[in-house]
Amino acid sequence: MSKEEKKTEIVVIGMGYVGIPMAALLADVPNFYVSGIQRRSQRSGWKIDWLNAGKNPFEGDEPGLDELIERVVTNGKFHVTPEYDCVDTADYVLIDVQTPIDLYTKVPMYESLKAVSERAGKHLKEGATVIIESTVAPGTTNNIVEPILEKASGMKRGKEFYLVFSFERVMPGKLIEYITDFPRVIGGGCKEANKRAKHLYGKVVKKELQVTDTLTAELTKCIENSYRDVNIAFANEMALLCEDFNRNIFEIIELINHRHDRMMHHPGSGVGGHCLTKDPFLLLYGHDAYSEKNFSSRIKIVPYSRELNDFMPKHMVELMEDGLRQARKFVDNIKVSLMGVSYKADTDDTRNTPAKNIIESLMKRYHSHNIIYIAHDPYVKKRDYDMTELTDDIEKAVENSDVLLFATNHKQYYDLNLEEIKKKMRTPIIIDGRNIFDKKDVENLGFIYRKVGEGPQNQDI
């Protein structure tokens, strides 16, 4: 076997929305052999057998992933295990575990990251390259992961093993595309580490591989997502403002974005997902913990944006209350139907979904009231949502309902027969958090309608 044909062994730790598509793409490269590591936990352990059978564990539309997983498993290029023995011979170890924050303190929860780093370090061979793909607070790779790996392995970074931070940019519904067709930022601790990471990613990434230092790469990921969160917060604030003016923010956004150099974001029922809801806090935490100077008193836009975006699910409740007042009904002895549980349309991803915050707000505010809750979602399974009854049957969800709260813009919601749905409801109220419906059309059918970003009254030109 020539040098070019040398077998490369890769381990990907964490079989989630990042680890699975990355592992499958790498396993599809000639002479790359990939082992996935997944805990046999009660919640996620089933993925081991599922993936080893060549099946995609994600619901929703993920173009190309079903075929890719089936192919690499059939070809003997990819398998999943709960054990770490495969790290013994691995040339590359990719860490793709969740790095959440504490909901109250906003401090990173690195239990999984620390645990897998220690376990992998104990098996790490000399010359191996470890790549952190999980999003972390700036300074984490150098100050937390590096010492753990060095202690567990007995080796030194940059001499006997290599450590890189190279963040993912995946999005449910476009898992493969966002790996292959987006530029990749590589932040290694030395030239050799960057060289090795470029070799790996160059096999699957079609766009530019951008090399920098570790801290800059960590900052890039957190600032990139904070930028989007801040822009969404601006859109949400303008939506609230337009409601007060009794105008439609979506019409205004269309007028603004008609300029080729403007691209205003859209408001909605809240920001969800694993990234935007925590990465701004990771940025702020890293700044407080590791920055050389601390001007934290001047950092105001990022935390306020998080506060505003977290308020939007509560605003959905406010809109519901307003609709009930118009119907002359109390928030008592009613049925509330939550339409859409995942945070993103046409996926099963419920991580930090605003839908849960809507229900939580209602339950806290009206804990002593007689409210029946039911949630509808065509993709989400009960293992990922347990706050209320869950169904994939539209008719069951709307039967005798008083309020339909649309928190997710699943494509099937755009094609609903609202005339038939109105006949099944007890009180025809729709609260639209995702700009799914046209106000005049819905109200002409006899619904009471409220939408994030549009005032309650129609305004004719």
Backbone torsions φ then ψ of 341, nearest 5 degrees? -110, -35
Q: From the candidates 198, 275, 356, 451, which is the catalytic residue?
A: 275
- Strand bridging mode 371-376 / 389-391: parallel
How many H-runs (helices) and E-runs (strands) does the chain carry? 16, 14
55: helix, coil or strand?
Answer: coil
Give the full edge-to-edge strand order of the sheet including 129-132. Answer: 78-81, 32-37, 8-13, 92-95, 129-132, 162-165, 184-188, 209-213
**Cβ atoms of residues 372 and 388 within 8 Å:** no
From residue 399, alpha-carbon distances to 334, 392, 415, 421 in Å are 12, 13, 18, 8
What is the C-alpha to C-alpha distance for residues 360 and 286, in angstroms, rounded to an integer? 30
Strands (E) across 59-171 are located at 78-81, 92-95, 129-132, 162-165
**Cβ atoms of residues 341 and 353 within 8 Å:** yes
Taken in order 43, 59, 233, 407, is the CA torsion positive or negative? Answer: negative
Q: From the candidates 47, 174, 198, 221, which is the catalytic residue?
A: 221
Please state at what angle helix 146-153 crosses helix 111-123, rounded to 10 degrees: 30
What is the C-alpha to C-alpha distance for residues 226 and 73, in angstroms, rounded to an integer? 37
> Which helix (H) or strand (E) covers residue 12, if one does?
strand 8-13
86 has catalytic annotation: no
What is the C-alpha to C-alpha distance for residues 373 and 197, in angstroms, rounded to an integer? 49
222 has catalytic annotation: no
Catalytic residues: 221, 275
